[in-house]
Chain A
C-alpha cells in the first residue's frame, strides 16, 4: 500500500516538474536574444521585432527577417510614441518595452511564414481557429531558416550578383581570393566606364570580352567564394587598382594587350588600364 502511495507521489512530482519545464520553455521562446538589433541585421530576432511592431500597428510590411528601411521607420515611430530616445536601434530598453506592450507567438508566426510568403497582418487577424500550442512546434530551428529576404547592395539584384559570380568563377576559379575580387572589380569598373556597356550582363556578354563566356565555362556552377568575391567588389573593394583589363600572360594571344599600362599581377593575371 505504501509502495503505491510513494509511486503516486513520485508521479505527481514528475508531472509538475514537466509542467514547470514546459512553462519555462514557453518563456524562453518568446524573448529576444541579448543583441542590439540594428539596420541591416538578419535573423530570428528581426522576425520577432517585426512581428511585435506589426502587432502594435507600427509596421505594415512583410515579416521577412531582414531589418530594412520599413522596419527602421517602424521602430523609430515606436520609440517616438513611447517617449524613448529615437535612435532606430533595438537595445535592451526598447526590447523590454516591446515585450511588455505586445504579444509574440513564435510558432504561429513561423508556421505562417513557412506556409505562405505574403504574411503581413500579424496581430490584426482572428486566431481563435488556430489555438497556439507552443509545445507542438519545434523551437529547435537553425537561426535564419525562416528568413525570407536577403540584403542586397543598393542597385543590385541577387541575379546580377549570381551572373557576375558565374563570370568570376568561369574566369578565375583557380585564382587566389583577391584575384577573384579583382576580376569582379574589373567587371564593375567596366560598367562605370564610358567605353563599355552600362550593365553587368552587357559587360559580361560583350563578344570576345571574356574567354569563359566564349567557351561556355561561364555556365559552371559557381561556389560560395566567387559570390563573396562579387559582393566584396560591389561593396567597394578593388584589389585590381581600378583596372579595366586583365590577361593571362601565358595564354594571351593578342599583342595589343601588352601595350596597356600594367598595374599589378595577382596570381596568374596581369591587371592593366
Chain B
C-alpha cells in the first residue's frame, strides 16, 4: 500500500517537474524571441536610417533657400542621433565599430553647427559644401554596405543571438556574415579624415478629410453587383460576394470579391455614385508580351472607361512583368499631385490588374486656378545654381501645412542625381526638394 502511494507521489512529482521544465523552456524561448526582435529592430532601423541620412544629405546639396536648409540640417542631425542610438542597441560590444560611430557624430556636429547658425548672414562656404559632398558619398558607401548585410541577413535568416555568441567566443574561428559585413562598413569609413520617409509627394495629403468628389446617386446592393459584373467582365453572380462597410469606414462603400480557378478579384465601390475606389486582380503572370509603353496606353484607355478625363501619365515602372502607372490630373497644363490615380497592367496579355482612385475622389474638386505671380525665370533663380534644370512644369502640391499651393516644378540634375524642386509660384518660397531614385542595385543578383 505504502509502495503504491510512494509510486503515485513520485510519478506525480515527475509529471510536475516535466511540466515545470516545459513551461520554463517555453518562457525561455519567448524571451529569446523578444530579445532577438529588439536586436532585429535596431539593425533594420539602422540601415533604414543610414539610407535616409544619405538621401537627406543628397537633398541638401540641391537646396538653396535658408528657410529650407536649416530645417533640413536639423532633420539630418536628428537622423544621426537615431542611427547612433540604433548602433548602441546592437550587441557589437566586442566588434570595433567606433569609426562608424565617430563618422555619424561628425555628421551630427557639422549639421548642428550649420543649423543653428544664421545662414542668411553667413551662408554655406565652398569648403562646407565640399564637406557635405564628401559626407554624401561616404554615407552612400556605408548605406550600400549595410543594405547588403541586411539583404544577406534577411535571405539567410541570420540571428543576432548567434552574432552575440560568436562574438563572445573569441577563440573560435568566427565566420559570421553579419560580423564580416559590419567590418566592411567600418573599413569604408576609415578613409575618412576629417530623416521620416520622404516617400513621394504624390497622392499624399497630410491630413485626411472627407471625399470631395463622389457625385451621383446612392446605389443599392443589386446595382453595385450589376456594375461589378460589368467591371469584372463576368456573366453570372455565382462567384460574387458583396459586403457593406462598417461604421469606421471613411466613406460608405461596398466590397465585392470574385474568384474562379485562375484568378481572384476584389473591388471597393463607393455607395455614392458607384465609383470604383480600389480594384485588385490577382493571378499568375507569364512572360512579357507587351511593352511598358503599350501597357500605359491600355491603362489610359481604362481610365477613360470610368470617365476619368484629363489624366496624364506621371510615372511608370515595371516590376516582374507587371506595369505600375500613376496618373495625375491635368488642368490647363497644371498637374495636380493630390489627384493621383494608379493603374496596374499585366504585361503578358495587357489585362488590367488594379486601379486605385482613392486619392482622386478624396481630393479632386473644381479648383479656381490662379495665375502665377512670379515668372518661371524668376522662380528658376530661387533654385540652387548648381542644379542643371532640364524640365519644368506648373503643378499643385500640398505643402508642409497641408494646403494646396500653386508651384513651379523643376526637374534638374546635380552630379549623377536627379532632383525634383518645387518653388511657390506666388512668393518664390522653396516648398520642397526631393531626390529621385526609384532604382536600386539588385542585391539578389550579386
Contact = CB atoms under 8 A, between A and B. Distances in A.
A213 B37 contact: yes
Nearest to A65: B442
A40 B316 contact: yes
B287 interface: yes
Contact of B248 (A70, A215, A263): A263
Contact of B318 (A42, A198, A200): A42
A35 B291 contact: yes
A108 interface: no
A39 B268 contact: no
Given A68-B438, A239-B268, A35 B294 contact: yes
A219 interface: yes
A106 interface: no
Interface in B280-338: 280, 282, 287-288, 290-294, 296, 315-320, 322-324, 326
Secondary structure call for the B interface = mixed
Interface in B251-295: 253, 255, 257, 259, 264, 266, 268, 278, 280, 282, 287-288, 290-294
B400 interface: no
Interface residues of B, number: 85
Interface in A148-186: 148-160, 162-163, 166, 176-178, 181
A237 B280 contact: yes
B26 to A, nearest CB: 11
B439 A178 contact: no
Interface of A: 34-43, 60-61, 64, 66, 68-70, 73, 76, 89, 117, 143, 147-160, 162-163, 166, 176-178, 181, 191-192, 198-202, 204-205, 207, 213-216, 219, 221, 224-225, 228, 231-232, 235-239, 241-243, 260-266, 272-273
Contacts of A207: 34, 37
Contacts of A64: 439, 441
A151 B282 CA distance: 20
Interface stretch (B2-10, B44-52, B102-110, B401-409): B44-52
Contact of B293 (A37, A68, A202, A205): A37
Interface stretch (B90-98, B196-204, B214-222, B367-375): B196-204
A36 B293 contact: yes
Across the A-B interface, the 6 shortest Cβ-Cβ residue pairs: A261-B248, A35-B291, A205-B41, A201-B44, A177-B282, A155-B199
B250, B317, B413: residue with the most chain A Cβ atoms closer than 10 Å: B317
B358 A198 contact: no
Interface of B: 30, 33-34, 37-38, 40-41, 44-45, 47-49, 51, 55, 147, 150-151, 154, 157, 196-200, 203-204, 208, 243, 245-250, 253, 255, 257, 259, 264, 266, 268, 278, 280, 282, 287-288, 290-294, 296, 315-320, 322-324, 326, 340, 342, 344, 354, 356, 358-359, 390, 413, 416, 418, 434, 436-446
A121 to B, nearest CB: 15
Contact of B249 (A68, A215, A216, A263): A263
A205 B38 contact: yes
Given A176-B259, A200-B48, A241-B268, 17 more contacts: A34-B291, A38-B292, A68-B437, A73-B418, A147-B445, A156-B197, A158-B443, A176-B264, A176-B266, A178-B282, A191-B197, A214-B33, A225-B282, A236-B203, A237-B280, A262-B247, A263-B249
Contacts of B45: 199, 201-202
B316 A198 contact: no
A261 B249 CA distance: 8
13 contacts: A36-B291, A64-B441, A151-B317, A152-B440, A154-B199, A154-B200, A159-B150, A162-B151, A199-B48, A200-B44, A205-B38, A241-B253, A260-B248
